[in-house]
Every structure is written in C-alpha cells, then in structure tokens.
Amino acid sequence: MRFGLFFGLLALIVLLIAGFGWESRSIQSSLLSRTQSELANQNLAWVNASMDGRDLTVRGIPPDEAAQQRATEVINSINGIRVVHNFLGVTDTASNIVEQQNDHSNNSEPPVENSLLVDANLTTANQCKESLDSAFNNEKIQFQINTSDTLASSNKLLTRLYDASHKCKGINLTIAGYTDSQGSADINLKLSQARATAIKSYLVKRGIAKESLNTVGYGESKPIADNNTRSGRAKNRRIEIYIGG
C-alpha cells in the first residue's frame, strides 16, 4: 500500500514537471512566433530573433537608422518578454558570421574560427555595456528645465560617457531620451528627442563616429517610476544609452 502511494506521488511529480516544461516551451515558442510575425509585418526581415525562455536575443545589421529604431520599437512593444539582449548593429563581421552559421545549421559544429569570432564580438558588446553602466554609475545627466542644455554638474558624467563610448568602437549605440508626464505629451516627446540628440552631438564633437550613434525620444511613454510623486518624476526624466537599436 505504501509503495503504491509512493509511486503514485512520484508519477504525479513527474507529470507536473513534464507539464511545466511543456508550458515553458509553449510560452517560448509563442513569444518567438509573435516577435517574428511583428518583425515581418514591419518589413524587418534583417532582424535575427531567438528565444531562451522569456529572454529575447536579436541580432542583425540595419539598412539605416530608421529601420533600427523601428525594430527596437517593435521589440519593446511585445508583451511577455522578460529581457531583451539587443545586438542590433554590433558589427558587419558578427552579422556575416551568424548568417554563415545559419547556412551550416545541419552541421553538428560550426567552423572553429567562426565560433571564436562570434564570441569575440559578443564579448566586446558585453564589455561595451559594462563600460556604459560603469560610466553612469547610477547618476543622471542633468538638463536645464524644459531645455536640451546640460548642466555643468553633469560634465564629469558626460566625460565618462565619452570614454565608455570610445571603448565601444565598431558597435552601434542608441541614445534614448525620456521625460515625466508633466505638461503636454507632444512637447515631452519633442523634448526627449532633443535631449537625446544633444548628447549625440556632444559625443560626435568629442570624436565618436556619428554613424554609430542613433537617437530616439520616448517622451513620457516609458516611465520607470510613479509620475504622481516628485521622486518618481525625477527618475523618469532620464537619458539611457544601450547597444544596438
């Protein structure tokens, strides 16, 4: 009797684990299918998307800045994705290698030299992200009220961001501007874009290639804190710099 109960419970546990695994794979498949469908609908076939659970990885070299920005907006609009690893525009070399690996997908292992090059490019991208995160160091670029003019108090931070961007040579970066919800949504959108453009202009003047820098303004549409509080609004007024589009 006891053995029967034990094996019954064991069988139930196995079924629950199997069911959980099936559900996870189903969610992963659904998210990837939705992502690929949305990208296809926007004529973004150059984006290579893959899923690991709820984590999305995207790679590809955009034909122009507008296409890269559109791809980013599509990816960010998909509900259910936990983390996006964005390698859009990392390097032409990385894109070519990924395509070669896809062409040889029937082989058990890709050519060794290709694997090393992919790892090198992804390592460079990770180092770039770490440099940018370290440069910000939980600080914010400060602007004069309702303008795109930076305050002198942010000069040291801007210098660190230039140093970090310089280490990201060969990697496309996107500078994104955000505001709080005070005032007109249309004005906030324009202000966020103007501030992102101002940071790009600063970096270009310091010597960063303008072709490697994209800008986007989200206005008040992507808050990270409560706009009903003063501290929340302060957090929402921000500039972010991330890899790819």
Span 160-188, pLDDT tens digits: 999 999 888 888 999 999 999 999 999 99
Q: Is residue 99 part of a domain?
A: no
Cα first-last separation, the chain: 62
Q: How many domains does the chain have?
A: 2
**Can you give the pLDDT at residue 8?**
59
231 and 127 within one domain: yes
79 and 44 within one domain: yes
Q: Is residue 54 part of a domain?
A: yes
Look at 212 and 83; give whichever has higher pLDDT: 212
Distance in angstroms (rounded) separating the CA atoms of residues 239 and 232? 15
Distance in angstroms (rounded) separating the CA atoms of residues 44 and 63? 10
Across all residues in the chain, what is the average pLDDT? 79
Residue 84's H or E segment, with its range, is strand 83-88
- Given a cut of 50, is residue 97 above it in pLDDT? no
**Can you give the pLDDT at residue 124?**
79
Where is the domain boundary, 61, 88, 115?
A: 88
244 and 127 within one domain: yes
Identify which of 62-66, 120-124, 135-139 has the greatest average pLDDT.
135-139
Q: Is residue 93 part of a domain?
A: no
Mean pLDDT confidence for 67-76: 81
173 and 114 within one domain: yes
32 and 144 within one domain: no
Q: Is residue 168 part of a domain?
A: yes
Residues above pLDDT 70, as percent of the chain: 76
Where is the domain boundary, 53, 88, 123?
A: 88
- Given a cut of 90, is residue 190 above it in pLDDT? yes
Full domain range(s) for residue 60: 1-88
Q: Is residue 95 part of a domain?
A: no
204 and 115 within one domain: yes
Distance in angstroms (rounded) separating the CA atoms of residues 36 and 26? 15
113 and 76 within one domain: no
**Can you give the pLDDT at residue 4?**
56
Mean pLDDT confidence for 128-153: 92
219 and 117 within one domain: yes
**At how many degrees (to 10) do helices 65-76 and 2-41 cross?**
150
Q: What's the CATH number where 177 sits?
A: 3.30.1330.60
- Given a cut of 80, is residue 91 above it in pLDDT? no
Q: Is residue 96 part of a domain?
A: no
Where is the domain boundary, 88, 115, 150?
A: 88
77 and 157 within one domain: no
- Given a cut of 80, is residue 103 above it in pLDDT? no
**Can you give the pLDDT at residue 52?**
85
Mean pLDDT confidence for 112-120: 42
242 and 134 within one domain: yes
Q: Is residue 100 part of a domain?
A: no
Mean pLDDT confidence for 213-227: 93
CA atoms 39, 55, 76, 78: torsion sign: positive
172 and 76 within one domain: no
**Can you give the pLDDT at residue 7?**
55
Mean pLDDT confidence for 26-40: 84
Q: Is residue 74 part of a domain?
A: yes
Distance in angstroms (rounded) separating the CA atoms of residues 58 and 46? 10
Mean pLDDT confidence for 46-67: 80
Mean pLDDT confidence for 51-59: 83
124 and 15 within one domain: no
